[in-house]
Amino acid sequence: MPVTAIGAGGHPSVSEKATSASLARRIRLWAGFFSKISYPRDLPLVIGAFRHRRNLTIPDHIWSSVDGIGGFLSAKEAALLYRVALDWPAAGAVIELGSFEGRSTSVFALAGRHVHAVDAWSLDVADLSAYAQGSVNVDGVFARFMDNLVQLGIADRVSVHRGDTRAVEQGWGQQGAVLFIDAGHTYEDVSADLRLWTRHLHPQGLLLLHDVLGDAYLGVTKAAGELLSSGRWQVAVSAGSIVGFTRR
């Protein structure tokens, strides 16, 4: 057995135990996901996501800047958003639905894109999962969001639109190169955001949906599966729980 495969005294090392625990956790998560998705509806989505999986890295100084910001974006997912903001060929801003404390907002802005951050920052919404079912101080979250922009020196790259995504869309007149949907996670919320906001996406733009791959928000998975089955969109990229789509 190779020396690197064992720790001191022939026992597994701390890092090996952590790796094993992480692998076991991922297996449980994927097993839960595959046991709950709808067959055959969601299979093309899952196959497309794994076929276009990307293992990207984010520069250390960018990740260290955003890692302390409250939110639910992993390093792999942040790396995808960062590379998209840098390299996606369509010119224009990012339209971000769901900003919370500005974790993903900051990644996009630090990559140089202007961001339209749309979020209700309110408990008067159907999906309160981000706010611990109403036990989190929403105005405190919004204050931290604004402070994070100032602290990172990116406030001039972010336009803030506080309101329900459907209400904000009614007066919307700007086109985006990237549309990142991470607001309400119910099927009804995601379906409505897709129906309303994709018309503001550049014809060669990229649509990104967060929390598609996982068993916590199957309404997001269902909405993404229906989007793909419409025949008008195709999977272009994925990382973590994010799946990206382009128009056919």
Q: How confident is the model over 89-121, as pLDDT tens digits?
A: 999 999 999 999 999 999 999 999 999 999 999
Cα–Cα nearest to 117, from 145, 136, 138, 137 = 145
Task: Measure CA 96 to chain center.
Answer: 10
HEC-encoded secondary structure of 141-206: HHHHHHHHHHHCCCHHHEEEEECCHHHHHCCCCCCEEEEEECCCCCHHHHHHHHHHHHHHEEEEEE
Average pLDDT of the residues in 151-180: 97
Count of Cβ atoms closer than 10 Å to residue 105 Cβ: 31
Residue 6 reports pLDDT greater than 90: no
Mean pLDDT of the chain: 90
pLDDT-derived band at 47, boundaries 50, 70, 90: very high
HEC-encoded secondary structure of 10-66: HCCCHHHHHHHHHHHHHHHHHHHHHHHCCCCCCHHHHHHHHHCECCCCCCHHHHHHH
Torsion-angle region of 81 (φ positive above 0: left; ψ -120 to 50: alpha; else: beta): alpha
Angle between helices 218-229 and 187-197 (to 10 degrees): 40
User: pLDDT tens-digit profile of 65-93?
Assistant: 999 999 999 999 999 999 999 999 999 99
Count of Cβ atoms closer than 10 Å to residue 164 Cβ: 19
User: pLDDT tens-digit profile of 207-217?
Assistant: 999 999 988 89
Q: Which residue has the tokens 């129906």?
A: 195
CA distance 110 to 90: 18
pLDDT at 104: 98
CATH 3.40.640.10, applies to 38-247:
no
pLDDT-derived band at 53, boundaries 50, 70, 90: very high
pLDDT-derived band at 218, boundaries 50, 70, 90: very high
Sheet architecture: strand order including 158-162: 158-162, 115-119, 93-97, 176-181, 201-209, 242-247, 233-239
| 177: its two tokens | 């190169």
Residue 236 exposure: Cα atoms within 13 Å on the Cβ side: 17
Question: Which residues on neighbouring strands pair with residue 209, listed in sequence order?
Answer: 181, 243
CA distance 143 to 5: 48
CA angle 69, 220, 211 (to 5 degrees): 30
pLDDT at 9: 42
Residues 219 and 185: beta-carbon distance below 8 Å: yes
pTM for the structure as a whole: 0.87
